[in-house]
Amino acid sequence: MSAIAGNQPTAGGKANLPSGPTQLRNAFDLCVHKTRDNIKRLADDPKSAAWAVDGNYFAFNEGFHEIGNWTSSFFTGMAVLAWRETKDVFFLQQLLRLAPHYLAKAFKQHRHTHHDLGFLYSLYSVALYKLTGEKLHRETGLRAAAVLARRFNPSGNFIRAWGYLGTDDFNDMAIIDCLMNLPLLHWATNETGDQRYREIAIKHADMVLKNFVRPDDSVYHAYRFDLKTGRPLRADTYGGIAVESHWARGMAWAIYGFALSHKYTQDARYLDAASRIALAFIHSLDREIVPVWDFRLPAGATPLRDSSALAVAVCGLFELAQQGGQDSKFFHSTRPMLLRLCAEDYLNSDPACPGILRNGQVGNGVPGGAQNAYTSWGDYFLMEALSRELRLGGTFW
């Protein structure tokens, strides 16, 4: 049984949580405070700054314009949320310092991109355009959507995840995370009237629905296809502990991603998939509430917790509640999850540490992966979830 249903305490009492909003507001204010320093450091020296065991993201050595960068905009997304709430122009000033880099990546260095253009540009260009109306951000976001659309394989109806276009590197593979990139395509159709973007997003979502979602409502991380015929070949993983395991963050991406696909299409199949995966996720939680990084660990494996998976999932549950009405069963799951993430063993309130959310897990033995790390995506989705809970405004997906 999930701990969420009864809000039961752990043996050490960790899940015996306070119910008032003060802790959540304090956590949001902490995010704002740390974002003030982090966004300036990013503007001073643009890089991906993805994760860090010690919380010092800015020691990360991957440059902003490298193909592997998918994380810079988690900092800009936090800065946009901070600016919207505080009206402090400092955040906007730092965000605008980054505009030439986003412009160059989309127009001049587009070859050095992969499918995560949605993560990068939804939380920067699209967000700023929605709040400022500045046409430059619209043009940059639309260019990013056009570059993303080039990665679509019409034979297999999938968006290629990784690798340079024109090379064989991962050219046959899609991953579950890409559901979060589809809102950029839907937005581009809404802005331009060009239905091609939406058609690609729908075809990719349908492919994921058909091939990634298992009968038990868990999901695969990756799938490979025959490039000529488009025939699905086999599942793969670069996230979970094994191909057939239940990677917690992958399930969180699926919850939020399918809920967003429903938002743009009103296709009930996506809402149903998101709901089923959400229930499977919730039922897999134990009394700690924060999930183990993979729900199907082999006997003897260390049950490391992944705070970032829960942060993403909470945002997905909020979106599900919004799509299904505020009486949705998912709405009542979010507060105990958020309160758990805001407890002192997960939330680092030290102002000297750039990182916010402890104990995120990165990769399955991939180069540069990490255990018990701070993650930029964990921090962003925590702040987004807090903004939703405190009703501070909408999101930018």
Q: Known catalytic residues?
A: 116, 177
Enter the tokens of residue 273. Answer: 């998939």
Q: Rounded CA gap, 360 and 24, in Å?
A: 20
Segments in 150-192 forming alpha helices (H):
182-192
CA-atom Rg of the chain in angstroms: 19
Burial class (CB in 10 A: 0-12, 13-18, 19+), 183: buried
Which H helix or E strand runs over 149?
Answer: helix 135-149
The CB-side HSE value for 136 (13 A sphere, CA atoms) comes to: 9
Hey, which residues does 222 pair with through a beta bridge? 175, 236
- Other beta carbons within 10 Å of 334: 21
Q: Rounded CA gap, 170 and 373, in Å?
A: 27
Buried b (16+ CB within 10 A) or exposed e, 236-262: bbbbbbeeebbbbbbbbbbbbbbbbbb
Enter the tokens of residue 29. Answer: 């204010």
